[in-house]
Amino acid sequence: MIACLARPFARSQPLGAHLAVPLTRKAGDELQRLKERTRLSETDVVNRAITLCEFIDARQWAGQEILVRDKETRETWLVRLS
């Protein structure tokens, strides 16, 4: 898991599109946990998720792989969006 240092910041970018999306119960619970753990707003958590998905998707399309490795056990997982 990547640690996030959350701190208040001035909005440096103009507001973009607004989106109302019904979440599954699981996604809603995960959003709540992320908000609590990172102390970010729902908007910031969703914006980061979209940015991360785009990053992973772009690398997949370029033929690259995203790997996650446990530092202690050295176990490695392939991250793939379908």
For 25-50, the pLDDT digits (tens) are 999 999 999 999 999 999 999 999 99
- Total domain count, the chain: 1
- Does any domain span residue 50? yes
Examine residue 62 and state whether it is found in any structural domain, yes or no.
yes
37 domain-assigned: yes
Any bridge partners for residue 67, and if so which? 78
Residue ranges with strand state E in the chain: 66-69, 76-79
Alpha carbons within 13 A on the beta-carbon side of 44: 17
Q: Please calculate the CA angle 18-22-24 and round it to the nearest 5 degrees.
A: 140
Domain that residue 38 falls in: 25-79
Q: 76 pLDDT band (50/70/90 cuts)?
A: very high
- Reported as a pLDDT band with limits 50, 70 and 90, residue 10 is low
pTM of the predicted model as reported, rounded to 2 decimal places: 0.72
